[in-house]
């Protein structure tokens, strides 16, 4: 009976959490302009209720009872164990600390917006200093083994450590830096046809076609427009993605669609009978990102994927793509070029943006640098890794929203996701006979089925490393990404 | 300080209530098909939280303290008084009663859907009997002065009594029955051009134009599509309307748009600083309906309204309306014809549908008839009032959703709303110089301003009758509706 009571309480918490999610989705998609003020209040109220439910002593009692309940099966035990972990973590925060953090984040976010708009880091500096100070306190509060930043990483990628990421990123530097240098010295590819005029309604319809082809269930989801693409779930039977469509850039819509579609498929594949429980949730941000990147890059930026889809796209935009072959299209979508802005960067140099942010965050948390050092430090790193001069802070240190939200430790999950994606996809290619041919003909059923079985259905039953070992027989291994990258880019750049 | 605490608690309740409203809005507009199951659970959870907050002993304490607080101003006192009234009413319900009611309504609604689909009243009978029995118990629980049905009426039109409505409907019968008879004997008007083919996108855009012309603020609202048009508010700065657009009937979209627009303007006009409090709410269903009907009928079905708007509509649909004058259009939109279905009926015979429902509900609640008598009783009434034979129960006693929801006492507010509308509009014509000319030229500013000042800004500061007396110097008076109807329809039907 305790397990049922526990499950009911958790589902109640989930009902509130997903109601907040709907309030946010609406805010980003359909809410009229003036609705913002009361909406913020409504979200704050539900967040308070959510917090109260999650820290309810009833839940504590239930968790303590269930901790010693030998009648539970493996999955039930895992749900109890993971919930207890989160619950115990929550208990470490005093109400005062939570309120101070929330207030500081809010100030810092406001300051970041203004600073970015006015290209003036000084507006952001003091609030960010306050926030970093508070985040350092949070590290102490949460505890860590080796490095304070471990506590931050652990918030997004449970179990990840600074040392591990550092080792991983040494590989990235060692292998990716010379490879990118080689590419830059080769003959460059052209992507100018991406930037012709493409009717936005037709683009939209093509995006929907791609999602359907991937197996995204439109009876259990939908796509809308928002200023930044995102995926949000209210339960596995109602998972929504958004995209943005630009008239003068067909590429943005296509790969944001496939990327969010990958996230969406993961959420749609989570078990409905574990709704509200850890086993109904995604493993980690890294694993989530592995699903979006696998579809976006390993599938969606492959030559085979565009065999059939390019024919279709040319039917829709015959004028714009008249002289463009699938091969040209493939080269263009994989153009490697140092860029100032992380979100505009290619599949390879992307990771330099992440390494830079990781190094900065680590240095901030172990005191090697101060917030006031950020702009200069940032610009030096961009020169070092990307050989690029940062013209102003808006295009530099102020570009990302994450720090203003207090999301330190988040960035590395993007790279981890790409590396898991390459590793999982290599495994899928081994295990699914004829996968390449299937992708060429637009048949994604077996790939999706494989991902469902290997990743989606488990929820949080396994940790990220356990899952990776179970699927691939080894832990996260950067070599798979390099193998994939070398094979692909050597062809494209004739190396 | 108590008043601030009271206000904060009430706003928290409102935040939850409006979150439920968003969950419902989404369900009717954008939610994917499979999302329904968990959505119902999410709404149920928030409803439970809402109930708990509203029946919180803290609120009871605050209300008792504030009841004797002499420092409150008039508005604050009213907020406390009205909240206490609702709170004390809530206390009369036991948890068991609420749960039993909710379960019974749910069963009855399911049964009604099947019964309507299969045209089989017997499926509906037993659940409805159970629900009526429970509703009768609710009347006893809530208390009433003269007639048990008073308690039901009071739920939707605070202060209304069976005796009052009866007196009102005697007038309706006495004056409207012979007038409609006279109209039916006259030469009939044609509305066939409404049912040509009208592009739905163009219709949609025209509907938006009409809403803008009325002064509906699209920065504080939006229009979407749903299978039944409705208005929903999340706060006065986010009020949404929906409509439905049929390719073969331009009239449905037009007047549903104007009708919901009228509701929407009321909600947008409520004071934001009273958010969550009675003074931030509409007076009653009758007054709410007065706002939609005033715009829909008194304005939107007048000849003047179509002087400029008809030119515009002919620009959009030149082919379909080639030989149609504003006068033809005006006659068509006011065509009087007995119909089986309430929602399809004209401005005059509409009230017979309501009188019938009122008589049936009253008879059910004082035991004059039983649920099993309903089909025969219904059909006899339709013969008597509308001289129409009901071919089957789906088009008869099963047509409306209201009873299956337990909404007895709701129907009369539709007629009351129309009568208030005629009375308010007559007053507006007296007080706004040049109103007719303004409407002819599409300038609704002064009318909206008048409604804002006279009705919207007050929230629930005055009761419906107080408001009516304050605006018109007398209580609800059916004579204004008859004066309006006679003037209008005598012209149309050459009487």
pLDDT tens figures, A260-319: 999 999 999 999 999 999 999 999 999 999 999 999 999 999 999 999 999 999 999 999
- Hey, is the C-beta of A392 within 8 angstroms of any chain B C-beta? no
Interface test with A, best of B10, B11, B22, B226 (most A CBs within 10 A): B22
Percentage of residues in chain A having pLDDT higher than 70: 100
Q: Do B32 and A234 touch (CB under 8 A)?
A: no
pLDDT at A215: 98
Rounded Cα distance between B186 and B178, Å, is 13
Domain annotation for chain A: domains and CATH numbers: 2-147 (1.20.58)
The answer to whether B159 contacts chain A (CB < 8 Å) is: no
Residues of B designated as active site: 260
Which of B19, B30, B33 lies at the smallest CB-CB distance from A19?
B19
Q: How many CB pairs under 8 A join A and B?
A: 105
Of B22, B37, B224, the CB nearest to A22: B22
CB-CB neighbors (< 8 A) of B38 in chain A: 18, 234-235, 237-238, 272, 275
> Rounded to whole angstroms, how far apart are CA atoms B177 and B16?
46
* A492 neighbors A334 (Cβ within 8 angstroms): yes
Taking only the tens place, the pLDDT of each residue in A116-133 is 999 999 999 999 999 999
Q: How far apart are alpha carbons A26 and A20 in whole angstroms?
A: 10
ipTM of predicted complex: 0.93
User: Hey, is A230 helix, strand or coil?
Assistant: coil
- 3-state SS class at B243: strand
**Residue A37 confidence (pLDDT) above 90:** no
188-217 of A, contacting B, C-beta below 8 A: 217
Mean pLDDT by 10 residues, chain B (495 residues): 94 97 95 92 93 94 95 97 95 89 91 96 97 97 96 95 97 96 95 97 98 98 95 98 97 97 98 98 98 98 97 98 96 96 95 98 97 98 96 96 96 98 98 98 98 98 98 97 97 95
Cα B233 from Cα B225, distance rounded (Å): 16
Other Cβ atoms closer than 10 A to B453? 12
- Give the pLDDT score at B99: 87
Contacting residues for A55 by C-beta, under 8 A, at least 6 apart: A87, A90, A91
Q: Which residues of A touch B22 (CB under 8 A)?
A: 22-23, 26
Interface mutation target, options A9, A237, A272, A280, chain B, most CBs of B under 10 Å: A237
Catalytic residues of A: 260
For residue A95, what pLDDT band results from cuts at 50, 70 and 90?
confident
User: Hey, what long-range contacts does B60-63 have (CB within 8 A, 24 or more apart)?
Assistant: B60/B87, B62/B2, B62/B5, B62/B6, B62/B9, B63/B6, B63/B87
At residue A99, the pLDDT reads 87
A280 touches chain B (CB under 8 A): no
Q: What is the mean pLDDT of residues A342-366?
A: 96
Chain A partners within 8 Å of B11 (Cβ): 41, 45
B30 touches A: beta carbon within 8 Å = yes
B234 touches chain A (CB under 8 A): yes
B478 close contact with A: CB closer than 8 A: no
Q: Which helix (H) or strand (E) holds A182?
A: helix A177-185
CA distances to A89, A91, A403, A411, B433 from A132, in Å: 20, 21, 9, 16, 64
CB contact under 8 A, A15 and B235: no
Tens of pLDDT, residue by residue over A3-22, are 999 999 999 999 999 999 99
Q: What is the pTM of this model?
A: 0.94
Within 10 A of A197 (CB to CB), how many other CB atoms are there?
11
Residue B172 and residue B415 in contact, taking contact as beta carbons nearer than 8 Å: yes
pLDDT at A1 over 80: no
Contacts of A23 in chain B (CB under 8 A): 19, 22
A311 CB neighbour count, 10 Å cutoff: 11
From chain A, pick out residues whose CB is under 8 angstroms from the CB of B37.
237
B46/A15 Cβ within 8 A: yes
* B38 contacts A275 by C-beta, under 8 angstroms: yes
Question: Which one of A221, A234, A267, A269 would you mutate to disrupt binding with B, by most B Cβ within 10 Å of its Cβ?
Answer: A234
């Amino acid at each position: 009976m305790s397990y049922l009571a526990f499950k009911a309480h958790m589902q109640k918490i989930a009902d509130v959490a997903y109601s907040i999610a709907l309030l946010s989705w609406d805010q980003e998609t359909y809410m009229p302009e003036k609705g913002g003020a009361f909406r913020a209040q409504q979200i704050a109220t539900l967040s308070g209720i959510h917090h109260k439910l999650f820290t309810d002593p009833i839940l504590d009692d239930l968790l303590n009872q269930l901790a010693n309940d030998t009648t539970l099966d493996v999955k039930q035990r895992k749900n109890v164990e993971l919930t207890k972990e989160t619950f115990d973590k929550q208990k470490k925060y005093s109400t005062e600390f939570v309120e101070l953090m929330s207030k500081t984040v809010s100030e810092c976010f406001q300051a970041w917006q203004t600073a970015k708009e006015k290209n003036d880091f000084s507006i952001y500096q003091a609030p960010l200093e306050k926030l970093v100070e508070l985040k350092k306190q949070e590290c102490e509060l949460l505890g860590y083994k080796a490095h304070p930043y471990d506590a931050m990483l652990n918030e997004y990628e449970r179990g990840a450590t600074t040392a591990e990421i550092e080792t991983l990123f040494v590989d990235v530097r060692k292998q990716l830096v010379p490879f990118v240098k080689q590419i830059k010295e080769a003959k460059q590819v052209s992507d100018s046809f991406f930037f012709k005029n493409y009717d936005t309604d037709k683009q939209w319809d093509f995006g929907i076609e791609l999602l359907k082809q991937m197996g995204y269930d439109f009876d259990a989801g939908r796509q809308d427009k928002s200023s930044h693409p995102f995926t949000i779930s209210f339960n596995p039977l109602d998972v929504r993605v958004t995209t943005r469509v630009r008239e003068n850039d067909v590429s943005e819509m296509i790969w944001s669609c496939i990327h969010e579609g990958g996230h969406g498929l993961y959420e749609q594949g989570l078990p409905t009978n574990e709704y509200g429980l850890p086993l109904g949730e995604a493993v980690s941000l890294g694993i989530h990102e592995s699903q979006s990147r696998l579809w976006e890059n390993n599938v969606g930026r492959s030559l085979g994927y565009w065999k059939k889809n390019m024919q279709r796209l040319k039917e829709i935009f015959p004028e714009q793509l008249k002289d463009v072959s699938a091969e040209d299209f493939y080269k263009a979508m994989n153009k490697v070029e140092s860029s100032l802005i992380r979100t505009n960067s290619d599949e390879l140099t992307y990771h330099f943006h992440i390494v830079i942010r990781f190094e900065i965050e680590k240095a901030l948390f172990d005191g090697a640098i101060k917030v006031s050092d950020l702009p200069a430090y940032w610009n030096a790193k961009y020169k070092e890794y990307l050989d690029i001069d940062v013209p102003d802070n808006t295009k530099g240190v102020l570009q990302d929203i994450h720090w203003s939200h207090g999301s330190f430790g988040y960035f590395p999950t993007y790279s981890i996701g790409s590396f898991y994606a390459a590793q999982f996809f290599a495994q899928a290619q081994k295990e699914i006979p004829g996968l390449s041919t299937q992708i060429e003909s637009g048949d994604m059923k077996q790939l999706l089925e494989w991902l469902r079985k290997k990743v989606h259905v488990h929820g949080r039953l396994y940790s990220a490393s356990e899952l990776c070992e179970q699927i691939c027989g080894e832990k996260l291994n950067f070599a798979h990404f390099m193998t994939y990258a070398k094979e692909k880019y050597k062809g494209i750049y004739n190396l």
